[in-house]
Amino acid sequence: MSTRKLTALALFTTISLAVYAIECAIPPLVPIPGIKPGLANIITLILLKRYSSKEAALVLTARILLSALLFGQAVSLFYSVCGGLVSLLIMILFNRLLKKHCLFLTGSLGGLFHNLAQLLAAMLITSSMAVLAYLPHLVIAGILTGLFTGFCAMYAAKFLPKDLHA
Amino acid sequence: MDNTTKKIAAVVGAILFLLVCISSLFILLPRKAGTSYTAELYLQGTLVDSIDLNAVTEIQTIELSADGHTNVVEIRPGSIGIISADCPDQICVHQGFISDSALPITCLPHGVIIRVRPTEEGELILTY
């Protein structure tokens, strides 16, 4: 990895961490656990579009570990890892299928599967089916917030310099 | 953007749209209503308490503690809610008081779930 690329990825990690910190400061919009804007996903999507799966995975892993270290606790790390990795795999798959087009669809799928994975994690942790009552809310929230972050990433990616691929 | 990509995009978009529609239906559909409701308190998957909300006459509080975490539950006539918790996100407190089976109250960091269900018909007959 060239120094140039390393620096760029470090910068992206910092940005996503800052976005995550801002999002944590926003009070929950609805009183349902698991619903949040997922703004840090904008960075993952930009990386998927402008770099490749490998760089997106690197930055996401670094962001999850660092955010757990800075703001989180053990349980939230488990939820983040489940949601983050499953949504990343789905986004990598569909980003390939869609040939980096329609980033808003990739974002929606990422949001959807992020929420589904976290719901599954919640079922494991509480060992109860009761949390399934949130499923319809989480499906809608995941798709809509993913659509929003997808559009953000699509437009933001246009303003990045063309010669990022160093 | 070639034709195959366009087709995949259209299918993915349609599936996502359908999912939103189906989920909205689930949220909007009327739920089974009962004349009396029972609250069930779960701690890490095990039922720790079951309270007939219609039988409650005075406000009372219960402390749910496990692994050094505490959630304070308040029971009012006909409704139940968490009034304080030592978790970082406080989502369970923000969920307020519930009186029907629409949504359970959950504290994910502590594994606490409170849900309200219509009291079973069978149980009612037994009390006569």
Helix H or strand E encompassing B114: strand B112-118
Other CB atoms closer than 10 Å to residue B105's CB: what's the count? 27
Q: pLDDT-based confidence at B67, cuts 50/70/90?
A: confident
Domain for residue A129, yes or no? yes
Domain for residue A85, yes or no? yes
Q: pLDDT-based confidence at A165, cuts 50/70/90?
A: low
Written as six digits, the tokens of B22 are: 């189906």
Residue B15 confidence (pLDDT):
96
ipTM for the predicted complex: 0.88
Which tens digit of pLDDT belongs to each residue from B70-126?
999 999 998 999 999 988 778 889 888 998 877 899 888 888 899 898 876 555 544
Q: How far is CA B27 from the centre of its chain?
A: 13
The range of the structural domain enclosing residue A24 comes to 3-159
Amino acid, single-letter form, for residue A31: P
Residue B127 confidence (pLDDT):
46
Looking at the complex, does the CB of residue B69 fall below 8 Å from at least one CB of chain A? no
CB B39, CB B80: distance < 8 Å: yes
Mean pLDDT of the region A109-132: 91
Helix H or strand E encompassing B43: strand B37-43
Lowest mean pLDDT among A115-119, A145-149, A159-163, B50-54: A159-163
Q: Break chain A down into helix, strand, coil percent, rounded to 5.
A: 80, 0, 20
Residue A91 above 90 pLDDT?
A: yes
Nearest Cα neighbor of A26 from B110, B89, B84 is: B89
Helix H or strand E encompassing A80: helix A74-97
Other CB atoms closer than 10 Å to residue B84's CB: what's the count? 15
**Measured between beta carbons, which residues in chain B are less than 8 angstroms from residue A134?**
103, 106
CB A62, CB A101: distance < 8 Å: no
Helix H or strand E encompassing B84: strand B79-85
Residue A118 above 90 pLDDT?
A: yes
- CATH code (residue A133): 1.10.1760.20
**Measured between beta carbons, which residues in chain A are less than 8 angstroms from residue B19?**
112, 139, 143
Domain for residue A166, yes or no? no
Q: How many domains is chain A partitioned into structurally?
A: 1
B45 with A32: Cβ contact below 8 A: no
Q: pLDDT-based confidence at A121, cuts 50/70/90?
A: very high
Domain for residue A138, yes or no? yes
Q: At A94, phi and psi to the nearest 5?
A: -75, -25
Looking at the complex, does the CB of residue B109 fall below 8 Å from at least one CB of chain A? yes
Least CB-CB distance to A136: which of B2, B12, B27?
A: B27
Residue B24 confidence (pLDDT):
94
Nearest Cα neighbor of A76 from A34, A46, A43, A35 is: A34
Q: At B23, phi and psi to the nearest 5?
A: -65, -40
Specify the CATH number of the domain B37-127.
2.60.320.10
Residue A151 to residue A85: CA distance in whole angstroms? 21
Helices A103-126 and B3-28 sit at what angle, rounded to 10 degrees?
40
Residue B13 to residue A124: CA distance in whole angstroms? 30
Residue A124 to residue A120: CA distance in whole angstroms? 6
Residue B37 to residue A83: CA distance in whole angstroms? 34
Q: At B88, phi and psi to the nearest 5?
A: -70, -35
Written as six digits, the tokens of A127 are: 């060992």
Residue B112 to residue B110: CA distance in whole angstroms? 6
Q: pLDDT-based confidence at A105, cuts 50/70/90?
A: very high
Residue A90 above 80 pLDDT?
A: yes
Residue B120 confidence (pLDDT):
67
Domain for residue A37, yes or no? yes
Domain for residue A165, yes or no? no
Q: pLDDT-based confidence at B12, cuts 50/70/90?
A: very high
**Measured between beta carbons, which residues in chain A are less than 8 angstroms from residue B45?**
126-128
